[in-house]
Amino acid sequence: MASELPVASVRLVGVLPHLDRPFEYAVTPAAAAARPGMRVRVRFSGKDTEGIVLGRHATATTDRALAPVHRLVSEDVVVPPALMRVCEEVAERCAGTVGDVLRLALPPRHARAEKADRAAEEKERETLPAPDSGAAPPEEPGRARPGDRYPGLAALLSRAGTPEGPVPRASITLDAADNWTEVAADAIGDLDPEQGALVIAPDQRDVARLSRVLTERGISHEILAGTEGPEKRYRTFRRILRGATRVVLGNRSAAFAPVRNLALAICWDEADDLLEEPRAPYPHTRTVLQCRSAEERCALLFLSASESVTLRALVDLGYLARLEPLPGPVTAVRPRIVAMDEYLRDREGASGRSRLPQEAMRVIRRGLERGPVLVQVPRSGYSPAIACTFCRTRAQCPHCSAPLSQNGRGGPLHCRVCGRREDGYRCPECDRTDVRAMVIGSTRTAEELHRAFPQATLKVAGGAHGALEDDAVPDRAIIVATPGAEPAPRSRYSACLLLDADALLGRAAFDADVEAVRRWRGAIALVRSAEHGGEVLIVGTSTLPAIRDLVAHRSSFFLDRVLEDRHELDLPPFRRVAEIVGDREACRGFLETVELPDGTDVFGPVDLEGPDAAGRARAVVRIEPARSRELATALRAGVAARSARKARGSLRVRLDPPDVF
What CATH number does residue 27 fall under? Answer: 3.40.1440
Do 238 and 230 touch, CB atoms closer than 8 A? no
Tell me, yes or no, whether 455 and 551 share the same domain.
Answer: yes
Assigned domain for 519 exists: yes
According to DSSP, the β-strands at 435-439 and 421-422 are unpaired
Lowest average pLDDT, out of 185-189, 283-287, 420-424, goes to: 420-424
Model-level pTM? Answer: 0.90
Q: Is the pLDDT of residue 483 over 80?
A: yes
284 vs 516: CA distance, rounded Å: 20
Query: How many Cα atoms sit within 13 Å of 294 on the Cβ side?
Result: 13
Query: How many Cα atoms sit within 13 Å of 503 on the Cβ side?
Result: 19
Tell me, yes or no, whether 612 and 496 share the same domain.
Answer: no
Helix (H) or strand (E) holding 405: strand 404-406
E-strand stretches of 285-324: 299-304, 321-322
Q: Note the pLDDT tens digit of each residue in 629-661.
A: 999 999 999 999 999 999 999 999 999 888 777
According to DSSP, the β-strands at 495-498 and 321-322 are unpaired
504 vs 574: CA distance, rounded Å: 25
Assigned domain for 414 exists: no
Q: DSSP secondary structure string, 607-640?
A: E--STT-TTEEEEEEEE-GGGHHHHHHHHHHHHH
Q: Note the pLDDT tens digit of each residue in 357-376.
A: 999 999 999 999 999 999 99
| Domain termination site, one of 302, 322, 342 | 322
**Rounded to 5, what percent of the chain is helix, strand, coil?**
35, 25, 40
User: What is the pLDDT at residue 624?
Assistant: 94
State the residue range of the domain holding 298.
Answer: 145-322
- Compute the radius of gyration of the chain from its Cα atoms: 28
Residues contacting 442, CB < 8 A, separation 6+: 377, 379, 380, 381, 460, 461, 462, 463, 465, 480, 481, 482
Enter the DSSP assignment of 596. Answer: P
In 5-80, which residue ranges form alpha helices assigned H by DSSP?
A: none
Q: DSSP secondary structure string, 324-369?
A: PPPP--HHHHS-EEEE--HHHHHHHGGGGGSSS-HHHHHHHHHHHT
| 42-57 CB burial, b ≥16 within 10 A, e <16 | bebeeeebbbbbbebe
Assigned domain for 215 exists: yes
Do 500 and 383 touch, CB atoms closer than 8 A? no
Q: DSSP secondary structure string, 224-263?
A: E-TTS-HHHHHHHHHHHHTTS-SEEEESGGGGG---TTEE
According to DSSP, the β-strands at 169-173 and 321-322 are parallel
Residues contacting 225, CB < 8 A, separation 6+: 204, 207, 233, 250, 251, 253, 254
User: What is the pLDDT at residue 387?
Assistant: 73
Helix (H) or strand (E) holding 581: strand 576-583
Do 157 and 188 touch, CB atoms closer than 8 A? no
Q: What angle do CA 378, 573, 603 make, to 5 degrees?
A: 90
Taking the alpha carbons of 21, 26, 31, 35 in that order, is the dihedral positive or negative?
A: positive
Do 7 and 57 touch, CB atoms closer than 8 A? yes
Tell me, yes or no, whether 375 and 484 share the same domain.
Answer: yes
354 pLDDT tier (thresholds 50, 70, 90): confident
| Domain termination site, one of 531, 564, 597 | 564
Q: How does the average pLDDT of the chain come out, rounded? A: 89
Average pLDDT over residues 7-31: 93
Do 487 and 495 touch, CB atoms closer than 8 A? no
Q: What angle do CA 467, 471, 477 make, to 5 degrees?
A: 85
Strand order in 404-406's β-sheet? 404-406, 413-415, 421-422
Assigned domain for 230 exists: yes
Assigned domain for 176 exists: yes
Assigned domain for 643 exists: yes
Tell me, yes or no, whether 517 and 451 share the same domain.
Answer: yes
117 vs 619: CA distance, rounded Å: 49
Average pLDDT over residues 614-623: 92
| Domain termination site, one of 506, 530, 564 | 564
- Give the number of other Cβ atoms within 10 Å of residue 139's Cβ: 11
Q: Note the pLDDT tens digit of each residue in 449-468.
A: 999 999 999 999 988 788 89
Phi, psi at residue 544, to the nearest 5°? -70, 140
Lowest average pLDDT, out of 186-195, 282-291, 301-310, 396-405, goes to: 396-405
Tell me, yes or no, whether 497 and 452 share the same domain.
Answer: yes
User: What is the pLDDT at residue 439?
Assistant: 65
In 411-525, which residue ranges form alpha helices assigned H by DSSP?
A: 442-452, 501-505, 512-524
Average pLDDT over residues 345-353: 83
| 235-247 CB burial, b ≥16 within 10 A, e <16 | bbbbbbbbebbbb
Burial of 636 (0-12, 13-18, 19+ CB in 10 A): buried
Q: Note the pLDDT tens digit of each residue in 559-596.
A: 999 999 999 988 899 999 999 999 999 999 999 999 99
Q: Is the pLDDT of residue 21 over 60?
A: yes
User: What is the pLDDT at residue 596?
Assistant: 94
Q: Is the pLDDT of residue 133 over 50?
A: no
User: What is the pLDDT at residue 298?
Assistant: 96
Assigned domain for 82 exists: no
Residue count (the chain): 661
Give the total number of structural domains in the chain: 4
Residue 528: what residue type? R
351 pLDDT tier (thresholds 50, 70, 90): confident
Average pLDDT over residues 282-308: 96
131 pLDDT tier (thresholds 50, 70, 90): very low
User: What is the pLDDT at residue 39?
Assistant: 95
371: left (phi over 0), alpha (psi -120 to 50) or beta: left
411 pLDDT tier (thresholds 50, 70, 90): low
Q: Note the pLDDT tens digit of each residue in 304-318.
A: 999 999 999 999 999
Q: What CATH number has the domain bearing residue 340?
A: 3.40.50.300
261 pLDDT tier (thresholds 50, 70, 90): very high
Assigned domain for 532 exists: yes
User: What is the pLDDT at residue 532?
Assistant: 94
User: What is the pLDDT at residue 509?
Assistant: 81
Average pLDDT over residues 424-444: 76
Do 376 and 481 touch, CB atoms closer than 8 A? yes
Tell me, yes or no, whether 609 and 528 share the same domain.
Answer: no
Q: What CATH number has the domain bearing residue 616?
A: 3.30.70
Phi, psi at residue 614, to the nearest 5°? -65, 130
Tell me, yes or no, whether 532 and 474 share the same domain.
Answer: yes
Tell me, yes or no, whether 356 and 488 share the same domain.
Answer: yes
In terms of Cα–Cα distance, which of 576, 93, 506 is closest to 313? 576
203 vs 252: CA distance, rounded Å: 9
User: What is the pLDDT at residue 303?
Assistant: 97
Q: Is the pLDDT of residue 385 over 70?
A: no
Q: Is the pLDDT of residue 138 over 50?
A: yes
Average pLDDT over residues 335-356: 86
Q: Note the pLDDT tens digit of each residue in 51-63.
A: 999 999 999 988 8
Tell me, yes or no, whether 206 and 311 share the same domain.
Answer: yes
User: What is the pLDDT at residue 24?
Assistant: 95
Tell me, yes or no, whether 316 and 287 share the same domain.
Answer: yes
In 351-480, which residue ranges form alpha helices assigned H by DSSP?
A: 358-368, 442-452
Tell me, yes or no, whether 553 and 589 share the same domain.
Answer: no
Q: Which residue has the higher pLDDT, 176 or 384?
A: 176
User: What is the pLDDT at residue 63?
Assistant: 84
Tell me, yes or no, whether 165 and 303 share the same domain.
Answer: yes
405 vs 419: CA distance, rounded Å: 11
Average pLDDT over residues 537-546: 92
